[in-house]
Structures are given as structure tokens and as C-alpha cells.
Structure 1
Amino acid sequence: MLSGRALALVVLAWSLFKVLVGRLFGRKTGLPLFHENYDADGLPALDPSERERVASFSRCIACGRCDVGEADRIAASNGEYPGLMTIVLSSSRSMPDYDAAARSLAHVPMEVLAQKEEICPTRVPFVELARFVRSKAGAKQLPAPSVMARAATEDAEAAPAEREHPPATAPT
């Protein structure tokens, strides 16, 4: 039996042989192989400029300032929108769920994102992040952000009236 360096050399030679034969007969490598493996998982490939942009999104220090004033939108989203800080932290990781982030961001108007950029101590580019996430998620299938944000605002405005006059419920 082989052991040590001899075994390592045999394993390395065998791997090289498999790679060369695979390339000779047209086996997928590189980007086509990446797409074959990860497209179903919703992990799109990033080009170098996109990788730089993702790095700028990850400067969040989790201070929570961007979540101030978001309680009504969070409540109106029925769990779909956890707040901006959570979206920023999860969208800038190595395997983000762009579809979930895009659904969450649909609850926040672009004007609000621009305002949040101004109060962020690290100047996270919320507007650019939203555009990036929506482009990667294929946001064409999502409702327009202004429609969902308007619905969230209407729900938030209706909530105080419901608190003053709760709907009648049957005794349990």
C-alpha cells in the first residue's frame, strides 16, 4: 500500500489526469459549471465591479439607526420586512437570498432609503443596495415598491383607529 508522499503524488496525478481528460472531451469548467451548480439556488455570478459594490454594502456596523421609525412598515409587512439593518447585514454576505431581500425592500420607498443614507454613520448606500438586490433578484416579478410602500403606510394609518376601537370578537 502507498502512504505519505507517494500516495499524495498518485492522488495528484490521478486528479490531473481526470481534469485533462475532462477538458479534452468538453466537460464544463469555470463559469458554465458555476451556473450549472448554483443557478437553481438563486446564486448569480458576480462580475468584479459587482464584487466591489457588495464590499461597500458590508460596512454596516449594526448600530440600528436605519431601523428608527420603521416599526409601522415592519408590522405592516407581516414578517416580510425585518428592518433595514437586517437586510443590509444579510445582503452583503457571501450567499445572500436576493429574492427575500428584494421582497423586504419592496416595503421601503426609495425616498426613505435616501433619507436613511444621510443618518447612517458609515454611509451605507441603501439606494444602490436596493437597486443591486432588485437586479439580482429579477425584481420584474415583484410588485412595484411604491405600491407596497403605499399599502404599508395605509395599514399603519389604519392601525391607531383599530387600537381605539378593536373589532368585536367572540368570547372564548
Structure 2
Amino acid sequence: MRKLHAYILLAWHLLLHLTKKFLFLYRPGGIDRVKDNFETEGLTPLSAREREMIAKWQSCIGCGLCEAACAELSVIPENRHVGPQLLAESSMRDLSQAELAIPSAEAIEACGCDELEEICPVDIPLCDLAEFLHRLGNETRSARK
């Protein structure tokens, strides 16, 4: 009986959906509603350049050379994103937690991200990563307030 009820509800909602589509009875401003829903969770839109950079960060092989060269990263608490390697890896997984990576981004800048980029065997653009995480972290913080 429950299965039949579920099928009836599914068919009813399909009919409503098709009717709305056919008669153009949808609410305008869909992209604004999407932005309102996602920005409160800290998910902000990315530019085309930032999407290209994320693809470059995904080439991180996790060698740890950059972390060994940057002593400032040792002062960051363990529950935060630590080190350039973890920054590169975390930036491609969960951008809603970008504000947690701000201390690491500041440490990268303090170490001299140009020097860390020279050490990287796969040429991860760490300066761009630190700048990106600052912007994204600040937007995430402001969206949650």
C-alpha cells in the first residue's frame, strides 16, 4: 500500500512539473535564488581564471617539499588546513571551508610564496593559491555573518 501511495505521489508531482513547464508557470530569478541559497553556506561563484587555477592545484603530488621549506607553517593548529600541500589538496575538495585555510595562506606569504613555487616539482602556483584563499575565506566569513 505504501509503495502504491509513493508511486501516486511521484506521478502527481511529475504531472505538476510537466504542467508548469508546458504552461511556463515557473518563478523567474532562478539564478538569484541559487546564489542566495549557496552564499549563506559559504559557496561563492568562481571566475574562469580561478577554475583554471583549481585545475593546476589538482596536479599536486603531495611530495611535501614546500612544507619542509616553510617553518612558519608549524605554528598553525593541527585542526586547520596546514601547509601548501594540504592547501592545494583542500582547495579542490571543499571550498566552503576556505576560511580555515587563511592562516596557512598567510604563512605561505610570510615564507615567500615565490621561493616555495621554485621548490615545487610540478609548478603549483602557490602565490595565486594564497591570494585565492584569502578572497574566498573573507567572502565565506562575511556570508556566514
**If the TM-score is normalised by the length of the shorter chain, which range does it land in?**
0.7 to 0.9
Unaligned runs of 5+ in 2: none
Aligned residue pairs, count: 134
Unaligned runs of 5+ in 1: 142-172
1:11-160 correspondence runs (5 A) = 11-18=13-20, 20-23=24-27, 26=28, 28-30=29-31, 32-70=32-70, 72-79=71-78, 80=80, 82-109=82-109, 112-138=112-138
Larger Cα Rg: Structure 1 or Structure 2?
1
Q: Is the 8 A contact 1:113 1:126 kept in 2?
A: yes
Q: Is the 8 A contact 2:108 2:130 kept in 1?
A: no
Which letter does structure 1 place at the counterpart of 2:74?
A
Which letter does structure 2 place at the counterpart of 1:75?
S
Q: Is the 8 A contact 2:72 2:111 kept in 1?
A: no
The higher-RCO structure (CA 8 Å, 6+ apart) is 2
TM-score, scaled relative to structure 1: 0.62
Give me the CA root mean square deviation: 3.1
Q: Is the 8 A contact 1:90 1:96 kept in 2?
A: no
TM-score, scaled relative to structure 2: 0.72
Secondary structure at the aligned position of 2:69 is classed as coil
